[in-house]
Amino acid sequence: MTENINLKKETDFKSSESSTGENKQWDKDNQAWWDWYVSLADNSNSKTKEVLLELPEPPNIKDASKIDLKQQLSKPYNLTTQDISNFQKNGFIKLKNVLTPAAIQLLRHEILSLLKKTFENYNENKKDRFLSLEMMWLKNTVIKEFVLSSRIAKICAELLSVKKIRLYHDNALVKESGCGRTPWHYDDHHFPLETNDVVTAWIPAQAIPIEMGPLTFAKPLEIYKLVENIEFNEFDTSYDKKIIDIFKKEKVSIVEEPFELGEVSFHHNLSFHTASENKTTQSRIVLANTYFADGARVVNNPTMISGDWKKFIPETKPGEIVSSNLNPICWPANNQV
């Protein structure tokens, strides 16, 4: 992407040795990773104990044959040069009308059906949790269309200004009613990829009003340099609190805006972001697909904050180029599996 991004991986957090144990490997599953990760968020100003905003159940489309999903998800999106330069300057962009309301309603239906299969009593008595599902595209043909979508992947290729885009993973990120904040971070912490050409398409499966906790970005992209030297702490909320304090003190510009139905955000792996708690009565359901430039290698020393990465990049050793069957090229479209 842009040359002004610091590409020096040897100074990066994810490949550094440290006393806080980031050099350990993650040995549990992805749900356990998220349970741990959201416990690092500072919720001392939480408002979820107050009355939740009552929202109706979002509309549900059960029948994929009612819409031409393949056609919708392969049609190119008209990205302007201004969009591309905004993304490269700010580290993120929010684009409206990437998907139709019908496609989103179907996506929500499919994620909900996987949630109900995976988590006992989903949405019945237990609330407040951050639930995660991954590798859904291997199990569900409708979700596969959204994950391998050439419409989405072409946007990613253009935003990064690279020719070919591969899938890192898909991730359903579900904040149940009352679930707390996501800690401030950039994704470079998590992805064991030896490149900064990495982007996540964050696709809400319903509209997200402010009260539901939309993804929220600090800008411009370079803001990560302000907090580069803050040491991560895997045990408590101190890292998140320090970032909040520095951003306040330095009057960093923070973009927290609702998502309308069909709106999708794209964020770079160095973009700092967070999400507020879900203060509504409905789950905040999102499909987050991460893509990277073809040719990237696995870093030499993946760490515990890289999570369950071997599941996403099988049969690939540290230092090797990523090209497994689970990391298909999604753009250009004719390279698809």
Ligand X SMILES: O=C(O)CCC(=O)C(=O)O
List of residues contacting ligand X (CB under 6 A): 173, 182, 187, 200, 202, 215, 273, 275, 286, 288
CA distances from 147 to 143, 214, 225, 337 (A): 6, 20, 31, 12
Among Fe ion, ligand X, none, residue 288 binds (CB under 5-8 Å by kind): ligand X
Which residue in the shown chain puts its C-beta closest to Fe ion? 187
Write out the residues near Fe ion by the rule CB under 5 A: 187
Edge-first strand listing for the sheet containing 253-255: 182-185, 273-275, 215-219, 253-255
Nearest-approach distance from CB 275 to ligand X, in angstroms: 4
Considering beta carbons, is residue 1 or 199 the nearer one to ligand X? 199
Measured from the CB atom, the residue of 182 and 206 that comes closer to ligand X is: 182
Which two structure tokens, joined as six digits, stand for 118?
Answer: 């995976």
Indicate which of Fe ion, ligand X, none lies near residue 115 (CB less than 5 to 8 Å, by partner kind). none
| Residue 275 interacts with which of ligand X, Fe ion, none, CB < 5 to 8 Å by class | ligand X
CB of residue 274 to ligand X, shortest distance in Å: 8
Contact 168, 269 (CB under 8 A): no
Radius of gyration in angstroms for the set of CA atoms belonging to the chain, rounded to a whole number: 19
Residue 87 partner contact from ligand X, Fe ion, none using kind-dependent CB cut-offs of 5 to 8 Å:
none
| Minimum CB distance to Fe ion, residue 186 (Å) | 7
C-alpha 300/C-alpha 50 separation (Å) is: 46
What's the token pair of residue 247? 């951003």
- Look at residue 179 and give the partner it binds from ligand X, Fe ion, none, a contact being a CB closer than 5 to 8 Å depending on partner kind: none
Nearer to ligand X, 34 or 74 (CB): 34
Question: Which lies closer to ligand X via its Cβ, residue 186 or residue 331?
Answer: 186
Closest CA relative to residue 291, chosen from 269, 307, 271, 316 = 269
Angle between helices 150-160 and 81-90 (to 10 degrees): 70
Pick 173 or 322: Cβ nearer ligand X: 173
Burial (Cβ within 10 Å: 0-12, 13-18, ≥19) of residue 57:
exposed
Which of 187, 197 has the CB closer to Fe ion?
187
Burial class (CB in 10 A: 0-12, 13-18, 19+), 100: middle
150 binds, among Fe ion, ligand X, none (CB under 5 to 8 A by kind): none
